[in-house]
Amino acid sequence: MKRLKTHTAIICSLFTASIVLYSCTTKEKANVSENKHFNQTDNWIVLDKTDATKEGHTFSWTFEVKTPSDYVLQLVSTEAYFKNNESVKIKIGAQEFEASLLKNHLINGNEIVSEFKNIFSIKNTEKQTLSITTEADFKSLRIIPHYKKPIGSGKYHQEWLAMHQSKEKQDALQRFKEAKLGMFIHWGLYSQAGGLWKGTKINNAPHPGPKVAEWLMYAFQIPREDYRALAKTFNPDKSFAENVVKLAKDVGMKYIVITSKHHDGFALFNSKHSEFDMVDATPYKADIIKELYNACLEEGIDFGVYYSHGNDWMDGSDGNYKNIKKVNDSLGIYTHPNGKNLWDPSENTHESYLENKAYPQIKELLTMLPELRLIWFDGTGFTTEAQAFQFYKLVYERNPNVLVNRRVGYAFGDYLDAGDNKIPSASETLEKYWETCGTTNNSWGYKSYDDDWKSPKELLYYFVDILSKGGNYLLNIGPDGKGHVPETSAENLRDMGKWIHQNADAVYGTTRWKTPNEGQEETLLDGTGHRAAKGFKRDFTSKDFWFTAKEHKVYAISLTQTEGDILIKSLKKGEGDIEQVKVLGSDKILSWNQNKNGLQTTITGVPKDALGYVIEVTLKNN
Ligand code: GLC
């Protein structure tokens, strides 16, 4: 049972999430009550077979979307033509692919909706053509927003924009952009378990889901009362705050974001709105968020909190899953379980959780931490557009200097992220500033048996790649139950930090230069699971450079200890008149030659243990 300290009346009205009567683009009808907050079909496109141009078995239409995003396709028919292996040929503009079946759903008693696995992006609102080649006897083809990128109605856009563009937010964003490197801390009750439950590793846990240690409760579907008991032994060392702040300083991290409440619902701060917190439920009995906040302020490090608003396995009920599913089923949309507690949900509603725990706790954090810089929301799941907006607004109204990340939901973040352990490609144009969050092994929370630590070089490579593309890196540590940071990860970070301190000019306050990099292929980092499975193998050569820029300086970053002649092609004649060339950290001015092939110079004296060096090229101010 949930134990919320303050109880407003239990909201009995089930969150009638969701329902849609008509959509402007569809002719679908759903027989459920209307709720303006959640219009599932607002951004659908329905293409009727009767409107298609037909050539053999190929059907073509033109269409346009209201909102560029990721979409999936569904074919509606009266017979289940697609079983397991059949695929259809799809062409959308220049994108061509074989679509294979994800799932068949039955709707309206006799219609089959076949949803395909492929996710594709539609990047603009211009007219496009789509064709499908299939022998299936279908009625219509539907283009549906992919569940991971909910599309807002635009209803809150102006109000959001006014807040987002306020001086406070823009100043905060500027400070954030200059910081470049932050420390993420995943720490909570699960840290004591180290990725094992009753002797079984989370990787062998019986239930699907991410194999990261903070998902312990989910992976083993631990009943809430059993999980709650973990609080009784959570008694970290008093030195936690001081130690991690020292580490952040050593590495050159300018901000810290700590899990004030992760998906398990446990708050590391003193909350009046839940007893499942550090002060009420643990022998530690003190507010460790406040301790870390104070330690950060003392050392001049910006402080932010992660807060799982969408998922709360202790008090968040089933995260609104059943309501959403009911509606989706009637429309033939697949409902992703989205990490919700379906094994032992609390008896309240998800909406009452928001009212009685999530919103109040956000207010508490904002009151308790006046110099807070960032709230990093997560677990969006089935948060509605109105709820996501409410979180954003709540933060702004209490402290407009606090940034909010993308995962608050819909388009309400002040900045973006490319996804966990993902770096956007250099050619991707993002409409907002961005940050990549990354792990130092393959888990966020402490996993005692994962020693696949990313080497200092690997970490630095990601950082440099991110810098060259103009983003921030939020790099994680997962302390154990005592609050100790695994030694190898701390060492690796410190090694990387040596390079950062030495080359600080090429890091802080820089922006992307016109050319992000030369010499190497695109980044390999494509998600936590991807890196875990593939490992990291990469050689860097003296021809590889990443660039950053500040005022009239360009920094060419190499991840080698080159001795001898180098050529930087992107700085060839015509790309800027050069005033001076030197290696960062040394006073020696280098002789150089700029011609049509590039900038040539000779490097000497890079220490053998250096992770790389940086050439600072000062351009003439013309
Ligand atoms: C995912 C995971 C979560 C982790 C986060 C970090 O959302 O659910 O455990 O905190 O990514 O970005």
Domain CATH code at residue 418: 3.20.20.80
- How far apart (Å, rounded) are the C-alpha atoms in residues 578 and 598? 12
CATH label of the domain that carries residue 111: 2.60.120.260
The predicted pLDDT at position 331 comes to 82
Residue 43: what residue type?
N
Quickly state the pLDDT bin for 84 (edges 50, 70, 90).
low
Closest ligand 1 atom to residue 420 Cα is 12
- Are residue 547 and residue 478 in the same domain, yes or no? no
Atom of ligand 1 nearest to the CA of 212: 9
> What pLDDT score was predicted for residue 563?
87
Nearest CA to ligand 1 atom 11: 420
Retrieve residue 332's tokens: 């033939």
Atom 6 in ligand 1: which residue has the minimum CA distance?
Answer: 420
pLDDT over threshold 70, residue 574: yes
How many residues are present in the chain?
Answer: 622
Q: How many domains does the chain have?
A: 3
Q: Is there a domain that residue 527 lies in?
A: no
What's the CA angle centered on 247, arms 245 and 253, to 5 degrees?
80
CA atoms within 13 A on the CB side of 260: 32
State which ligand 1 atom lies nearest to the alpha carbon of 407.
Answer: 7
Ligand 1 centre from 75 Cα, in Å?
33
What is the reported pLDDT for 606?
Answer: 87
Ligand 1 atom closest to residue 214's alpha carbon, by position in its atom list? 9
Helix (H, G, I), strand (E, B) or coil at 489: helix
Report the candidate in 413, 310, 306 with the shortest Cα–Cα distance to residue 354.
310
Nearest to 518 by CA among 400, 589, 597: 597
123 in a structural domain:
yes
Nearest to 549 by CA among 510, 578, 581: 510
Cα separation, 15 vs 37, in Å, equals 11
| Ligand 1 nearest atom to the CA of residue 215, by list position | 9
pLDDT for 87:
81
57 CA distance to ligand 1 centroid (A)? 44
Tokens coding 326? 């009911």
Using the mean position of ligand 1's atoms as its centre, give its distance from the Cα of residue 361 in Å: 19
Q: Are 591 and 602 in contact (CB under 8 A)?
A: yes
Tell me, in angstroms, the distance from the centre of ligand 1 to residue 137's CA. 42
Q: Can you name the residues that pair with 616 across neighbouring β-strands? A: 555, 582
Same domain assignment for residues 178 and 139: no
| Residue 368 CA to ligand 1 centre (angstroms) | 25
Q: How far apart are CA 454 and CA 438, in angstroms?
A: 10
Query: Which one-letter DSSP state was computed for residue 233?
Result: G
Percentage above 70 pLDDT, the chain: 93
Q: Phi and psi (nearest 5°) for 72? A: -125, 170
Best of 183, 212, 264, 307 to mutate for ligand 1, by most ligand atoms within 8 A of CB? 212
DSSP string, 557-617: EESS---EEEEEGGG-TTS--EEEEEETT--PBPPEEEETTEEEEEE----TT-S-EEEEE
Residue 15 covered by a domain: no
C-alpha to C-alpha distance for 64 and 427, rounded to whole angstroms: 24
Q: Ligand 1: which of 202, 218, 444 to mutate, most ligand atoms within 8 Å of CB? A: 444
Q: Which residue has the tokens 């810089």?
A: 373
Specify the ligand 1 atom closest to the Cα of 379. Answer: 7
State the pLDDT at residue 355: 98
Same domain, 255 and 385: yes
Distance CA 233, CA 291 (A): 20
DSSP-H helix ranges across 470-565: 487-502, 528-534
Q: Is the pLDDT of residue 471 over 50?
A: yes
How confident is the model at residue 500, as a pLDDT? 98
Averaged confidence pLDDT in the chain: 90
Instruction: Answer yes or no: is 390 within a domain.
Output: yes
Q: Which of 503, 530, 550 is the last residue of a domain?
A: 503
Q: How far is the CA of 377 from the centre of ligand 1 (A)?
A: 10
CA of 441 relative to ligand 1 center, distance in Å: 14
Q: How far apart are CA 86 and CA 99, in angstroms?
A: 9
Residues 454, 496: Cα–Cα separation, whole Å: 11
Max distance between CA atoms of the chain, in angstroms, equals: 79
Which has the closest alpha carbon to 418: 397, 399, 432? 432
pLDDT at 33: 37
Task: Report whether 383 contacts 310 (CB < 8 A).
Answer: yes
What is the CATH number for 605?
2.60.40.1180
How far does the chain reach from its first CA to its final CA, in angstroms? 69
Say yes or no to pLDDT of 332 above 60.
yes
Atom 9, ligand 1: which residue's CA is nearest?
A: 214
Last residue of a domain, one of 503, 531, 551: 503
Comparing 311 with 588, the larger pLDDT belongs to 311
Q: How confident is the model at residue 39 (pLDDT cuts 50, 70, 90)?
A: low
Give me ligand 1 centre to Cα 420, in Å.
7
Is 353 domain-assigned?
yes
State whether 226 and 375 are in the same domain. Answer: yes
H/E run at residue 396: helix 385-398
Distance 378 CA to ligand 1 centre (A): 7
The DSSP element (H or E) to which 106 belongs, if any, is strand 95-107
Distance 104 CA to ligand 1 centre (A): 30
One domain, residues 305 and 364? yes
CB 160 within 8 A of CB 389: yes
Q: 332 alpha carbon to ligand 1 midpoint, in Å?
A: 28
Is 300 in the same domain as 422?
yes
Closest-lying ligand 1 atom to the alpha carbon of residue 262: 10
Neighbouring residues of 428: CB distance < 8 A, sequence distance ≥ 6 = none
Residue nearest to atom 8 of ligand 1 (CA): 379
pLDDT, residue 330, reads 83
More confident site: 107 or 192: 192
Are 429 and 388 found together in one domain?
yes
Which residue has the least CA distance to atom 12 on ligand 1? 420
| Mean pLDDT on 423-447 | 94
Q: Which residue has the tokens 């950053």?
A: 548
For residue 30, pLDDT over 60 is answered with no
Q: Which run of H or of E encompasses 19? A: none
Closest alpha carbon to 512 in 474, 557, 476, 459 = 557
Least-confidence region, from 34-43, 74-83, 165-174, 317-326: 34-43
Pocket test for ligand 1, best of 260, 305, 420, 423 (most atoms within 8 A of CB): 420
Encoding tokens for residue 36? 């303006």
Other C-beta atoms within 10 Å of 189: how many?
28
Neighbouring C-beta atoms of residue 469, cutoff 10 Å:
23
Same domain, 119 and 175: no
The residue with greater pLDDT, 365 or 329, is 365
Please determine, for residue 539, whether its predicted confidence score (pLDDT) is greater than 70.
yes
Q: What is the mean pLDDT of residues 241-260?
A: 98
553-558: strand order across its sheet? 517-518, 545-550, 553-558, 613-619, 578-583
Domain final residue, candidates 123, 145, 167: 145
Distance 587 CA to ligand 1 centre (A): 44
Within-domain flag for 296: yes
**Residues enclosing ligand 1, CB less than 6 A?**
186, 210, 212, 214-215, 378, 420, 437, 444
From the alpha carbon of 339, which atom of ligand 1 is closest?
A: 8
Helix ranges (H only) for 7-91 are: none
In sequence order, the 6+-apart residues with CB closer than 8 A to the CB of 587 are: none
431 and 548 together in one domain = no
**Strand ranges, E, within 117-198:** 120-122, 128-133, 138-145, 181-185, 196-197
Look at residue 476 and tell me whether its pLDDT is greater than 80.
yes
Q: Which of 619, 612, 617 is nearest to 600 (CA)?
A: 617
**Element spanning 59, H or E:** strand 58-63
- For ligand 1, atom 4, the nearest C-alpha belongs to 444
Measured in Å, residue 528 CA sits from the centre of ligand 1 at 10
Same domain, 441 and 543: no
Q: What distance in Å separates the CA atoms of residue 252 and residue 182, rounded to the nearest whole number?
A: 8
For ligand 1, mutation pick of 305, 378, 380, 442 (most atoms within 8 Å of CB): 378
> In this structure, are 351 and 435 located in the same domain?
yes
pLDDT at 25 exceeding the cut of 90: no
Pairing between strand 517-518 and 545-550? antiparallel
Quote the ligand 1 centre to 68 CA distance (angstroms).
Answer: 25
Report the atom number in ligand 1 closest to the C-alpha of 476. 6
Q: Which of 74, 152, 86, 153 is nearest to 114 (CA)?
A: 74
Q: Write the DSSP symbol of residue 522.
A: P
Q: Tell me the CA–centroid distance for residue 94 and ligand 1, in Å.
A: 34
Phi, psi values for residue 293, rounded to 5°: -60, -50
Same-domain pairing of 182 and 325? yes
Q: Phi, psi at residue 260, to the nearest 5°?
A: -75, -30
Sign of the C-alpha dihedral, residues 18, 24, 30, 35?
positive
Is 453 a residue whose pLDDT tops 90? yes
CA 293 distance to own-chain centroid: 23
**Residue 380 CB coordination number (10 Å):** 21
**Residue 161 maps to a domain:** yes
What pLDDT does 215 receive? Answer: 98
Is residue 515 included in any domain, yes or no? no
Residue 308 CA: nearest ligand 1 atom is 10
Phi-psi region of 522 (alpha: psi -120 to 50; beta: other; left: phi over 0): beta
Residue type, 255: Y
- Six-digit token string for 251: 């590495």
Q: What's the whole-number mean pLDDT along residues 243-262? A: 98
Domain residue limits at 89? 39-145
Residue 380 C-alpha to ligand 1 middle, in angstroms? 11
- Which residues have CB under 8 Å from 575's CB, separation 6+? none
Cβ within 8 Å of residue 513, ≥6 positions away: 468, 547, 548, 549, 554
Segment 489-522, tens digit of pLDDT: 999 999 999 999 999 999 999 999 999 999 987 7
